[in-house]
């Protein structure tokens, strides 16, 4: 049983937020989660109770606090020992107004950190992204390996997308704030987060698998990405909390590199009765579409090259290998079928 600390987790209704809360409750912590609207509270409690039982969930409290408003944050921080800032605005499209994504990332991170400081909370674990690591380095062809020493250079990017801008600026702000205010900060940098959904309210990334299974994705790009299972992301947050030496450190949460067509092949082999989408979109079409913005802008920087994110530091922290992309893809598929998210 963990020392009875109270951990604040922002974004309690999210895919990563729910899994992080689940792992914290399993480890014996008391948890206070923030939600943008109390309308979602019943669903979160039901999901966690279904997966854990009543006793662990009795240590969970949910409160209303919006990243874009000051109200509620001082109350949310009261008595808290550690903050895990997990909440993020994630979209499957690229908005015309990039502030819809950038503002919650940047302003929200600053608001959470200021509220933590005002409440005397010195330990913060921030969910960042590989988007803050492997971009703007002039890498347009071939294979390149990135690790925690790399920082995205927004000025070096021809094609920026809102999520990358928001996450990168938010991490920069967080490290500067931590240095200036004696905050013990750890950042966790997931790749494409998939893995078993706990309920129907799952992530955009899970849609990669469900879209291939139900045929709603007409074709896939040729490039790949480093996958991470949501369970590993949650476990890294708990490990960072339990090990003081992680303060001041960045950790990549990335398993093996997997091309989009490989995801389709894995699913087709596991579900031969389904017509999994195997068609690929030519790179030149994605490059053309990206010139005009839209969803292609989110992957254009990965077309024609292979970005490998070295997750060995995170694996060392956990004391084990991350779940493989294949196992995570299959766990995702099993969950979306079981939950009725695909026909």
Catalytic residues: 167
| Residue 15: closest CA among 163, 197, 167, 164 | 197
| Residue 22: closest CA among 72, 84, 111, 78 | 84
The 3-state secondary structure of the chain reads: CCCCCEEEECCCCCHHHHHHHHHHHHCCCEEEEEECCHHHHHHHHHHHHHHHCHHHHCCEEEEECCCCCCCCHHHHHCCCCEEEECCCCCCCCCCCCCHHHHHHHHHHHHHHHHHHHHCCCCEEEEECCHHHCCCCCCCCCEEEEECCCCCCCHHHCCCCCHHHHHHHHHHHHHHHHHHHHCCEEEEEEECEEECCCCCCCCCCCHHHHHHHHHCCCCCEECCEEEEEEHHHHHHHHHHHHHCHHHCCCEEEECCCEEEHHHHHHHHHHHCCCCCCCCCEECHHHHHHHHCCCCHHHHCHHHCCEEEEECCHHHHHHHCCCCCCHHHHHHHHHHHHHHCCCCC
């Amino acid at each position: 049983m963990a020392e009875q600390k109270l951990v604040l987790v922002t974004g309690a209704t999210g895919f990563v937020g729910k899994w992080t809360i689940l792992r914290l409750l399993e480890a014996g912590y008391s948890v206070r989660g923030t939600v943008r609207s109390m309308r979602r509270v019943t669903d979160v409690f039901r999901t966690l109770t279904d997966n854990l039982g009543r006793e662990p969930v009795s240590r969970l409290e949910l409160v209303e606090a919006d990243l874009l408003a000051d109200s509620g944050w001082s109350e949310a921080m009261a008595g808290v020992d550690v903050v895990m800032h997990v909440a993020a605005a994630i979209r499957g499209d690229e908005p015309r107004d990039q502030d819809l994504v950038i503002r919650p990332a940047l302003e929200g991170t600053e608001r959470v950190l200021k509220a933590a400081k005002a409440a005397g909370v010195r330990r913060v674990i921030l969910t960042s992204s590989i988007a803050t690591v492997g971009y703007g380095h002039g890498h347009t062809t071939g294979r390149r390996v990135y690790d925690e020493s790399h920082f995205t250079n927004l000025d070096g990017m021809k094609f920026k997308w809102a999520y990358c801008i928001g996450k990168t600026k938010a991490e920069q702000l967080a490290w500067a704030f931590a240095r200036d205010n004696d905050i013990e900060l750890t950042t966790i940098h997931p790749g494409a987060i998939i893995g078993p959904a706990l309920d129907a309210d799952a992530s955009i990334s899970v849609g990669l698998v469900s879209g291939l299974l139900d045929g709603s994705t007409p074709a896939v790009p040729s490039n790949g990405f480093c996958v991470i299972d949501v369970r590993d992301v949650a476990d890294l947050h708990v490990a960072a909390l339990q090990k003081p030496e992680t303060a001041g450190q960045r950790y990549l949460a990335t398993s093996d590199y997997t091309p989009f067509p490989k995801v389709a092949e894995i699913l087709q082999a596991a579900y031969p009765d389904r017509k999994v989408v195997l068609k690929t979109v030519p790179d030149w079409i994605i490059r053309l579409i990206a010139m005009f913005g839209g969803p292609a802008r989110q992957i254009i920087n990965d077309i024609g090259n292979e970005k490998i994110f070295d997750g060995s530091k995170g694996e060392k922290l956990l004391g084990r290998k991350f779940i493989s992309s294949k196992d995570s893809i299959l766990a995702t598929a099993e969950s979306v079928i079981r939950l009725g998210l695909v026909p």
